[in-house]
Amino acid sequence: MLFQPPLPAKYDDYSRDELVDRIRRCKADLGGRLVILGHHYQDDDVIQFADFTGDSLKLSQIAAEQRQAEFVVFCGVHFMAESADILTANGVKVVLPDLSAGCSMADMAEIEQLEEAWDALVDMAGSTVIPITYVNSTAAIKAFCGRHGGACCTSGNAKRVLEWALSQGEKVLFLPDQHLGRNTAYAMGYSLDEMVVYDPKRRDGGLAADRIREARFYLWNGHCSVHQLFTPEDADEIRRLDDGYSIMVHPECSWGVVQKADCVGSTEGIIKTVSESAPGSKWAIGTEIHLVNRLANEHRDKVVRSLARVQCLCTTMYRIDMKHLLCSLEALVAGRIVNQILVDPETSRYAQIALDRMLSHAAPQPAPAD
C-alpha cells in the first residue's frame, strides 16, 4: 500500500456543504479538461460527482475512450488507476485522490512471487501454461501475463477469456482470485479435481509434483477480503427467513456460496439483473454494501438487501472521500498534480497487451454458475 500524506488541516474544517460547493466549483473551473470516474463501490458522497460510473471493465473502457480530457480523477483503487494510466492516451494524467486506496486482493500477488511460481510450474506442468490475471492485480502482474502469452479478465468476461486461454494452451495459471477462477472453470464444466490452489508462500506452491502434472487450473491462493465474508450459512439463513428472496452473488464469493445462490453476476450484471427484475422482486445480494444500498434506494418497488448480516465494506475504496477528492481537484485548479499514478513504459507496454486481449473478449456473457 502506498503512503498517503495527511491532508492539510483546512479540509477537516470544511462543512459537508462547503465540501460539496468547493468540489462543484473545481469541476466547473476545470470543465472539459477533467473527467471523474467512480467505481460502483464508492460512497454516494463521492459518486454524486462522477461523470461516469462503472465496474472495473466499464471504467477501463471509458478511460481508454478519453481523448479530450487532460486529467482523469479515478475514484476507485490503485490497480484501477494504473489500468487507466495504461489505457489512456499519452498526456492524460490519472490521479488517485487517496494513495492508500489499494486492494487487498491485488496485494496478494507480488511480481517476485509470480516469477518464482512460473519457473516452478512451467518446469513441472508437462504442457503449455497460459497465465490469466483478474484485472484486480498490479500493473507488473498484468505485464507478466502480457509478456508470457496471457491476458487479463474481469468478472464479466472471465469465461470468454478462459475459453480463449484454453485454445492457446492446455493449462491455466489464474491469479490473484482463486474464487473467480474456480467458479468460472466449474461453470465451464471442469471438475474441482482439475483445479489446485497454488500457495505462493510455500515451496512449489505447497503442491506435490504429480498434482502439478495432473491439474488443468492452477488457482493462486488469493481472495477478496470483502466477498470472502459471505458464507453458505448466510444463504441458508435467508432461505429460512423468507424463501421469496432470490440470492445473487458476485463470483469473487467462495464456491460454497455460489452453489447456494440462484444466480451469479459481475458488478454490472448484478445492477442489470436487479434493474430489469419485476416490481415486488426480492433480492439478497452478496457483494459490497455501498452497491447493495444504492440498489435498494434506486429500486424502492423491490426489496434489496445484503446476503450477510455483517457489513461487507471495501474499506480501501472507502478511503476516497469528499475531502481527498477536493484536495486533488484544488491542486489541479492551482496547476499542480498530486497523487498522479504513473506506470513505467516497459510495464505499460506489456500490460496493455494483456488488457487489449481482455477488451477484445469484453462482450457480456451469461453468469458463471446459475
Residues that bind ligand SF4 (CB under 6 A): 41, 77, 103-105, 136, 224-226, 288, 314, 316-317
77 vs 95, which CB is nearer to ligand SF4? 77
180 vs 351, which CB is nearer to ligand SF4? 180
287 vs 347, which CB is nearer to ligand SF4? 287
Kindly report whether the peptide bond that precedes residue 251 is cis, defined as omega within 30 degrees of 0: no
125 vs 175, which CB is nearer to ligand SF4? 175
228 vs 246, which CB is nearer to ligand SF4? 228
To which H or E segment does residue 166 belong?
helix 158-168
In contact, 163 and 210? CB cutoff 8 Å: no
Q: How far is the CB of 41 from ligand SF4 (least distance, A)?
A: 6
Give the separation between CA 124 and CA 75, rounded to whole angstroms: 42
Query: Phi and psi dihedrals of 233, rounded to 5?
Result: -65, -30
Residue 195, C-alpha cell as written in the block = 483445479
125 vs 358, which CB is nearer to ligand SF4? 358
In contact, 310 and 320? CB cutoff 8 Å: no
Q: How far is the CB of 312 from ligand SF4 (least distance, A)?
A: 9
In contact, 292 and 306? CB cutoff 8 Å: yes
Instruction: Annotate 28-41 with three-state secondary structure.
Output: HHHHHHEEEEEECC
How long, in residues, is the chain? 370
155 vs 348, which CB is nearer to ligand SF4? 155
77 vs 258, which CB is nearer to ligand SF4? 77
Q: How far is the CB of 15 from ligand SF4 (least distance, A)?
A: 29
- 332's CB contacts (< 8 A; 6+ apart) are 26, 30, 34, 71, 73, 95
In contact, 304 and 274? CB cutoff 8 Å: yes
Give the separation between CA 354 and CA 114, rounded to whole angstroms: 16
Residue 143, C-alpha cell as written in the block = 505485464
Q: Which amino acid is at 258?
A: V
Give the separation between CA 309 and CA 136, rounded to whole angstroms: 26
Q: How far is the CB of 36 from ligand SF4 (least distance, A)?
A: 18
207 vs 341, which CB is nearer to ligand SF4? 341
153 vs 314, which CB is nearer to ligand SF4? 314
Kindly report whether the peptide bond that precedes residue 176 is cis, defined as omega within 30 degrees of 0: yes
Give the separation between CA 82 and CA 74, rounded to whole angstroms: 10
Q: How far is the CB of 149 from ligand SF4 (least distance, A)?
A: 25
Query: Phi and psi dihedrals of 198, rounded to 5?
Result: -95, 120
Angle, alpha carbons 25-31-37 (nearest 5°): 90
Cell 471438475 sits on residue: 191
Round to the nearest angstrom and report the end-to-end CA distance of the chain.
36
